[in-house]
Amino acid sequence: MATPSAATRKKLQRKFRLRGFTLKVDALEEAAAFLARFPDAEDDALDLLLDELDKEPLVDP
């Protein structure tokens, strides 16, 4: 898996933080890999991903 660019990392961290999530490195890389599958619709894909995560129950590790 390729390392996400600095701009992608910043965008992911900012949008996740706005929704109340904190990303660990592994999660950041997975989210970036997901976005890479939708190069022409990154913002829409990220919003859909965040919407789905909002629906999931929170689990403490």
What pLDDT does 61 receive?
A: 64
Q: 24 or 60: whose pLDDT is higher?
A: 24
C-alpha 12/C-alpha 48 separation (Å) is 13
Q: What are the residue boundaries of the structural domains of the chain, listed by start?
A: 6-54
In the block, residue with structure tokens 């961290």: 13
What pLDDT score does 29 carry?
95
Amino acid identity, position 52: E
Instruction: Kindly give, in sequence order, each residue whose CB lies less than 8 Å from that of residue 6, ignoring residues fewer than 6 positions away.
Output: none
Average pLDDT, the chain: 91
pTM of the model: 0.82
